[in-house]
Amino acid sequence: MRIFSGIQPTGSLHIGNYFGAIKQWLDLQDENDCVFCIVDLHAITVPYDPEKLQKLILEKAIVYLAAGLDPEKVIIFAQSKVKEHSELCWLLNTVTPLGELYRMTQFKDKAKKNEKAGLLNYPVLMAADILLYDTETVPVGEDQKQHVEIARDIARKFNRSFGETFVLPKVKLPKYGARVMSIADPKKKMSKSDPDEKSRISLFDSPEEIRKKLKSAITDTGKTIKYDELKKPGISNLLTIYSLLAEKEIKDVEKEMKGKSYKAFKEEVAELTVLKLEPFRKKRDELSGREVYVREILRRGEEKARVLAESKMDDVRKKMGLR
Ligand code: AMP
Ligand code: TRP
């Protein structure tokens, strides 16, 4: 099966990104044809620093590898290096109804007064990413579900107008961890762009940072450690995080933690997080000194992606009467 997914190079990755996206990628990489992209063209739809962009792309490639993606098995590359993404985005814009773009939740959340067209067209570029590789499955977190659905819609519209061209992609959400919440405000999702650093645990936070953040994590009124999203969003989120890290069912974690105070439970979550993130930190430190190697992986990935993308675009141009 062809799998495609991507993460923006800006901001540091947190455990929400790991459980929502990367962990699924790891589970899929052995049995499927996987393409994992660092989506720099998406990252520039909000204000950013051009000086830092290349460094951030390299850093994300290091994260992918540190997390365990195997460059012998999967394609890893930066989106802007394969020009077909931009070209297909433009062509898909011609079949995408504006109204559907305006109703995207992420657009409504991010759009401010002076918003640029790039933010509105963000889902069309994402559709181009996905459709260019005949993708069947898109493993992402819950917040991206709507974007994969619009990609499917766009593919259907294109096929109807120009003949069978694109595979209709399906979203794949993890069973648990599709929406990890902020530890500072469990009503919001954990996010890279949250100005409050204490709201997220980054994959490369030091043990001290992890302990400090979890110590101040928001819990709820009451005393029992029980999963109840509505009445106990804070504790439920911490239970989810613990169960994902420990690879245990939530009900088993509840039993294990029975009788503990919230404070003691948070310490348990902190110690497990420190332990489980340690291999990432080690691998990242090791790879940080191997820039040439990582660049070579990106270059090879880019070459392989380009072959696939060029062949698909030949077909698309023909279907649209452009050659
Ligand atoms: P982003 O941080 O927007 O670049 O997202 C990269 C990937 O992580 C996407 O597949 C998102 O759906 C996923 N993701 C982001 N935040 C979370 C979260 N809080 N919980 C679960 N998945 C997430
Ligand atoms: N929009 C996605 C996010 O912010 C990133 C992304 C871009 C993506 N293109 C994609 C994810 C294609 C899956 C498939 O998380």
CATH of the domain at 156: 3.40.50.620
Active site annotation includes 60: no
Q: What does the pLDDT read at residue 11?
A: 86
The verdict on 32 and 143 lying in the same domain is yes
Residue 190 lies in a domain: no
H or E stretch at 78: strand 75-78
Q: From 155, 183, 3, select the one nearest 75 (Cα to Cα).
A: 3
CA 90, 94, 98, 101 dihedral sign is negative
Same-domain pairing of 131 and 248: no
Residue 65 domain flag:
yes
pTM listed for this prediction: 0.96
pLDDT recorded at residue 110: 84
Same domain, 253 and 294: no
CA gap 120, 100 in Å, rounded: 10
Query: Cβ of 112: how many Cβ atoms within 10 Å?
Result: 7
Judge if 22 and 140 occupy the same domain: yes
- 86 lies in the same domain as 147: yes
Residue 186 lies in a domain: no
Residues lining ligand 1, Cβ inside 6 A: 7-8, 16-17, 19-21, 140-141, 143-144, 177-180, 189-192
Q: What is the Rg, in whole angstroms, of the alpha carbon atoms belonging to the chain?
A: 21
What pLDDT, on a 0 to 100 scale, did the predictor assign at position 114?
Answer: 73
Pull the structure tokens for residue 58.
């390299």
Per-residue DSSP letter, 7: E
CA–CA distance, 271 with 285 (Å, rounded to integer): 21
Side chain identity at 319, as an amino acid letter?
Answer: K
The confidence score (pLDDT) of residue 75 equals 98
Number of domains in the chain: 2
99 and 234 part of one domain: no
Q: Is 177 within the bounds of a domain?
A: no
Query: What's the gap in Å between 154 CA and the centre of ligand 1?
Result: 22
Inside any domain, residue 183: no
- If asked whether residues 97 and 43 sit together in one domain, one would say yes
**Does residue 216 share a domain with residue 115?**
no
Do 315 and 269 lie in one domain? The reply is no
Q: What is the pLDDT along the chain (323 residues), one digit of tens a residue?
A: 999 999 999 988 999 999 999 999 999 999 999 999 999 999 998 889 999 999 999 999 999 999 999 999 999 999 999 999 999 999 999 999 999 999 999 999 888 777 889 999 999 999 999 999 999 999 999 999 999 999 999 999 999 999 999 999 999 999 999 999 999 999 999 999 899 999 999 999 999 999 999 999 999 998 999 999 999 999 999 999 999 999 999 999 999 999 999 999 999 999 999 999 999 999 999 999 999 999 999 999 999 999 999 999 999 999 999 98
Indicate the burial class of 164 (C-beta count within 10 angstroms; 0-12, 13-18, 19 or more). Answer: exposed
Looking at the structure, tell me whether residues 121 and 236 fall in a common domain.
Answer: no
Is residue 218 located within the same domain as residue 311? Answer: no
Within 13 Å, how many C-alpha atoms sit on residue 158's CB side? 29
What is the extent of the structural domain holding 144? 2-172+290-319
Same-domain check for residues 301 and 166: yes
Predicted pLDDT at 115: 82
Q: Is position 180 within any domain? A: no
Q: Which amino acid is at 151?
A: A
- The domain that contains 274 carries what CATH number? 1.10.240.10
CA 145/CA 151 separation, integer angstroms: 10
Give residue 270's pLDDT: 98
The residue annotated as part of the active site, out of 23, 60, 81, 189, is: 189
Q: Quick count: other Cβ atoms within 10 Å of Cβ 21?
A: 24
Mutation pick for ligand 2 pocket among 3, 25, 37 (CB with most ligand atoms within 8 Å): 37
pLDDT at 36: 98
Residue 178 lies in a domain: no
pLDDT reported for residue 46: 87
Catalytic entry in 145, 157, 172, 192: 192
- Structural domain contains residue 217: yes
